[in-house]
């Protein structure tokens, strides 16, 4: 089966899928998205991703779409692909209309999806840890909405690659450490785990939420508070969380080793717990 796309109810090979040039997602970045992954033929945290998708659309006042219809389309595409370890993008734009900054009422949201095998993070990165740079956060003020406006994220990621690293970490004007280009961030300091609170400046990551739950179940002390680059660089362990990222150790930031420069025990333990939960849970089809 080739990699597939879904465009407003029709399924086709990805190369054949096109959208109209006056789609507002294309013209204005007026679209939202989700990325869901499956493990052994089951989609992980699908309902939580649909909750966030609905919230994103509500925050931008899109005309409502039936959640049941979206879920059905997701499951149909997933089943047809037959990929046990699939990565599925759901992208919804406000609609198609003659180009105009003003939003014309009554537009029909456009739904597209794509499905491919997950592009896995290399095993050696998971084992030995990744490297990162910090960059100034130049994104807009509503990073809590999962919009398709990913230019700052993309440029920051490329900057990290050009610097010979794996990813970039956004830091605010005031020096507050926020998140990765496609992941949330945790530090471990003196046995305490700390992550940025849920504000307009970070995405409320589903994996972040799962990891917080795993910490509580494992009696690990996890809190949400603001911290700066000194705390980041001085942490015992740092890791990123995300649907593709899962839970990825970061062992070097801005050229400085984190802790002893090796993957730490809490990161390793939480990664094992996350994998176990991902393998056990999921939407059966
Ligand atoms: N933060 C940003 C900016 C992201 O783009 C993502 C995922 O794409 C995340 C965090 C992690 O979110 P999730 O765990 O829901 O995949």
Q: Whose CA is nearest to atom 4 of ligand 1?
A: 182
CA distance 246 to 128: 15
Q: What is the pLDDT along the chain (285 residues), one digit of tens a residue?
A: 789 999 999 999 999 999 999 999 999 999 999 999 999 999 999 999 999 999 999 999 999 999 999 999 999 999 999 999 999 999 999 999 999 999 999 999 999 999 999 999 999 999 999 999 999 999 999 999 999 999 999 999 999 999 999 999 999 999 999 999 999 999 999 999 999 999 999 999 999 999 999 999 999 999 999 999 999 999 999 999 999 999 999 999 999 999 999 999 999 999 999 999 999 986 655
170 with 181: CB under 8 angstroms?
yes
pTM of model > 0.95: yes
With a CB cutoff of 8 Å and minimum separation 6, the contacts of 126 are: 248, 249, 271
Q: Which atom of ligand 1 is nearest to the CA of 45?
A: 15
> Residue 2: its pLDDT value, please?
85
Cβ atoms of 186 and 214 closer than 8 Å:
no
- Choose the residue to mutate in 36, 53, 243, 247 for probing ligand 1, maximizing ligand atoms within 8 Å of C-beta: 243
CA of 222 to the centre of ligand 1 (A): 19
Q: Give the atom of ligand 1 at the shortest distance from the alpha carbon of 153.
A: 3
| Residues in Cβ contact with 8 at an 8 Å cutoff, skipping those fewer than 6 apart | 110, 111, 112
**Ligand 1 atom 10: the closest Cα is on which residue?**
183
How far from each other are the two terminal CA atoms of the chain, in whole angstroms? 18
What is the model's pLDDT at position 43? Answer: 97
pLDDT for res 281: 83
Determine the atom of ligand 1 nearest the C-alpha atom of 184: 10
Active-site option among 146, 159, 262, 276: 146
Q: Do 212 and 192 meet the contact criterion of CB atoms below 8 Å apart? A: no
Tell me, in angstroms, the distance from the centre of ligand 1 to residue 181's CA.
Answer: 8
Residue 182 near ligand 1, beta carbon < 6 Å: yes
Q: Give yes or no for a contact between 157 and 167, defined as CB atoms under 8 angstroms apart.
A: yes
Say what the pLDDT of residue 70 is: 97
Pocket lining: 183 vs ligand 1, CB cutoff 6 Å: yes
Q: 53 in helix, strand or coil?
A: helix
Determine which helix (DSSP H) or strand (DSSP E) holds 133, and give its type and residue range: strand 130-136
Q: Is the CB of 149 under 6 A from ligand 1?
A: no
């Amino acid at each position: 089966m080739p990699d597939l796309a879904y465009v407003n109810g029709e399924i086709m090979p990805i190369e054949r899928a096109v959208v109209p040039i006056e789609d507002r997602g294309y013209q204005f970045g007026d679209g939202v998205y989700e990325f869901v992954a499956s493990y052994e033929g089951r989609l992980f945290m699908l309902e939580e991703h649909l909750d966030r998708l609905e919230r994103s659309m509500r925050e931008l006042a899109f005309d409502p779409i039936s959640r049941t219809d979206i879920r059905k389309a997701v499951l149909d595409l997933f089943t047809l692909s037959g990929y046990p370890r699939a990565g599925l993008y759901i992208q919804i734009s406000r609609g198609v209309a003659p180009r105009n900054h003003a939003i014309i009422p009554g537009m029909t949201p456009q739904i597209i999806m794509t499905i491919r095998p997950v592009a896995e993070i290399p095993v050696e990165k998971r084992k030995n840890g990744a490297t990162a740079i910090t960059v100034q956060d130049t994104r807009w003020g509503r990073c809590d909405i999962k919009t398709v406006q990913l230019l700052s994220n993309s440029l920051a990621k490329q900057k990290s690659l050009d610097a010979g690293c794996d990813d970039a970490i956004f830091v605010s004007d005031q020096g507050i450490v926020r998140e990765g280009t496609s992941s949330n961030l945790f530090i471990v300091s003196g046995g305490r785990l700390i992550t940025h609170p849920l504000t307009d400046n970070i995405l409320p990551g589903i994996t972040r939420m799962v990891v917080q739950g795993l910490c509580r179940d494992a009696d690990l002390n996890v809190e949400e508070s603001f911290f700066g680059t000194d705390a980041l660089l001085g942490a015992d362990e740092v890791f990123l969380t995300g649907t593709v990222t899962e839970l990825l150790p970061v062992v070097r930031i801005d050229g400085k080793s984190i802790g002893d420069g090796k993957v730490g025990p809490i990161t390793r333990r939480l990664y094992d717990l996350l994998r176990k939960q991902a393998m056990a849970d999921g939407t059966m089809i």
